[in-house]
Amino acid sequence: MSEFLSMGGYGLYVWTSWGVGVALLIALLIQSIAIARSAAKEAEATELLSPRRRRRKAEAE
Amino acid sequence: MKPKRKRLFIVLIGLLFVSAAVGFSLFALDQELDVFRSPSEIAEKGFPSGKRFRVGGLVEDGSVSSEGIVTTFRVTDGAHALTITYDKILPDLFREGQGIIALGALNAGGTFEAQEVLAKHDENYMPPEVADALKKSGHFKPEGGDS
Amino acid sequence: MHRFANPTRFLRLAAAVLPFSAAVAALCLGAGLVWGLFFAPPDYQQGDTVRIMFIHVPAAMMAMGVYAGMAISSAIALIWRHAIADLIAKASAPIGATFCFICLLTGSLWGKPMWGTWWVWDARLTSMLIMLFIYLGYMALWQAFDDQTKAARAAAILALVGAINLPVIKFSVEWWNTLHQPASLITMDGPKIHSSLLWPLLLMIVGFGAYYLTVLIFRVRAEVHQRRTRMLRMAQADRHAAMQAAE
């Protein structure tokens, strides 16, 4: 196991590369999902303030 | 002309101009960007000592010796060889037959005193067993055909 | 092409693609990670550092691929005034910049033990660094304008001009004597990587591609919703002004 971790003496370089690479990819994915969610919510909320939308809703009821 | 066609035209003309400009500057750079010299060039043209430049070639077989922290080796391009001394830690890829680039200057005795030695590797990747098998069957292309 | 200029239709298409791209990305990246780190053999010259290749090369390829896509959608947006194309270009930039940064960082971490240096100003490394700056400049340009139409046009022109850098990156290793070795994967004679190292590499490349598509869908979604919010707010402000004028 420690032999695997040491990567023939290059463990620091190999693990830092993979660690930072994977961490950046995960962070970008999470941030993208978060902005997609918050943007959708904001658009929804803004639409509710629109009189046209309110009227249409009232007619449906 | 329809506006759409006109915009396409403008973009294409613009790209043509920019690529021409970049092409010319690259061509100009190409003359200047002399990245490293070969031992033959140094042997034939002669080079003033003390002037910093880069030299590239293959580490000659059996030429590496070290005395304390100073490593002495010869770098060759097939026709000529140059003796290089280096007093820092060599990169892990440094070995006989390996392509290297050294930055430094010639001393009065004609020896190249390197301040930096970088190892070059080729574009082939394979496991050690495959390399051994290729070497045995004589199909192994040695390093540095291009360096 | 204009069929997909309708944001609602585009979002519906994207929602259909998303589960597949996400599954392919997760599977390929997961399998590539395990294969590359645990099962792939070390290289005959570079030993275990060759495992950095499995993240360095896909990041480099995708940084260039994303840029090519960004330049093409910028051209489409500029010429045909396509409603989604500029959003795709805008949403691509942070992803491409991340790939580019990963490529430079892992390259540096690979260069130190093998070449003996973190960085050299050779043509390949320098042109890749220039691409990172173009990505960052492109993103900054979008922020620099209040008027989104103007921002889109300025950014699109920068993306197109910067596309000249792509062939420079690709052929830098052939045009100049660089420390960086010539191409291993996309060459006239086919890949120069042994199959035991090539397969995990190809898996990672497919994984990076699917990852890009997945993240792109989320980011375009965000852009479409943000644009809808902006338009609704503008309409509300207009109506408010009209009402006040009537009183």
Confidence of residue B146 (pLDDT cuts 50, 70, 90): very low
> Which range, A46-50, C157-161, C213-217, is most confident?
C213-217
CB contacts, 8 Å: B130 with chain C? 44, 194, 196
> pLDDT tens digits for A7-43?
888 989 999 999 999 999 999 999 999 999 999 999 9
Q: What is the DSSP letter of B145?
A: S
What phi and psi, each to the nearest 5 degrees, are found at residue B64?
-85, 125
CB contact (8 A) between residue C221 and residue A39: yes
Of C60 and B93, which is predicted with more confidence? Answer: C60
- C123 belongs to a structural domain: yes
Residue C9 lies in a domain: no
Give C228's contacts in chain A (Cβ within 8 Å). Answer: 43, 46-47
The answer to whether residue C17 sits within a structural domain is no
pLDDT 10s digits, C104-140: 999 999 999 998 889 887 788 888 998 999 999 899 8
Domain that holds residue C59: 24-246
pLDDT for C199-222, tens place per residue? 999 999 999 999 999 999 999 999
DSSP B72: E
Confidence of residue C2 (pLDDT cuts 50, 70, 90): low
Residue C174 pLDDT grade (very low, low, confident, very high; cuts 50, 70, 90): confident
Q: Distance (Å) from the C-alpha of residue B91 to the closest C-alpha of chain C?
A: 4
In tens, the pLDDT along C36-70 reads 999 889 888 888 999 999 999 999 999 999 999 99
Sequence-ordered list of residues with C-beta below 8 angstroms from that of C62, at least 6 positions apart, any chain: C96, C99, C205, C208, C209, C212
Contact B126 C44 (CB under 8 A): yes
CB contact under 8 A, C164 and B33: no
* Listed range (B38-52, B68-82, C88-102, C189-203) with the worst mean pLDDT: B38-52
**Number of domains chain C is built from:** 1
Residue B143 is predicted with a pLDDT of 46
Q: Are B74 and B63 in contact (CB under 8 A)?
A: yes
pLDDT score, position B41 = 84
pLDDT at B98 over 80: yes
- The distance of A40 to chain C (nearest Cα, Å) reads 5
Asked if residue C7 is part of any domain, the answer here is: no
Number of H helices, E strands in chain A: 3, 0
The contacts of residue A32 (CB under 8 Å, 6+ apart) are: C215, C218, C219, C222
Alpha carbon B40 to chain centroid, angstroms: 14
Q: Which residue has the higher pLDDT, C242 or B1?
A: C242
Write down the pLDDT at residue C60.
96
Of C45, C79, C182, the CB nearest to B4: C79
Chain A residues close to C205, C-beta within 8 Å: none
Residue A12 is part of which domain span? 2-60
Q: Is the pLDDT of residue B35 over 70?
A: no
User: What is the nearest CA distance from C226 to chain B, expressed in angstroms?
Assistant: 27
> What's the structural domain count of chain A?
1
- More confidently predicted of A17 and B93: A17
How close, in Å, is residue B139 to chain C by CA atoms? 14
Q: Which of C43, C75, C181 is nearest residue B120 as measured by Cβ atoms?
A: C181
Question: Does residue C149 carry a pLDDT above 90?
Answer: no
> What pLDDT sits at residue A51?
65
The predicted pLDDT at position C72 comes to: 96
- Is C211 domain-assigned? yes
Contact C193 B126 (CB under 8 A): yes
Range from C33-37, C62-66, C168-172 that averages highest in pLDDT: C62-66
CA C121 vs CA B53, B85, C154, C175: distances in Å? 14, 24, 30, 15
HEC states along chain C? CHHHHCHHHHHHHHHHHHHHHHHHHHHHHHHHHHHHHHHCCCECCCEHHHHHHHHHHHHHHHHHHHHHHHHHHHHHHHHHCCCCHHHHHHHHHHHHHHHHHHHHHHHHHHHHHHCCCCCCCCHHHHHHHHHHHHHHHHHHHHHHCCCHHHHHHHHHHHHHHHCCHHHHHHHHHHHCCCCCCCCCCCCCCCCCECHHHHHHHHHHHHHHHHHHHHHHHHHHHHHHHHHHHHHHHHHHHHHHHHHHHHC
Closest CB from C113, C122, C160 relative to B92 = C113
Domains and CATH numbers, chain B: 39-137 (2.40.50.140)
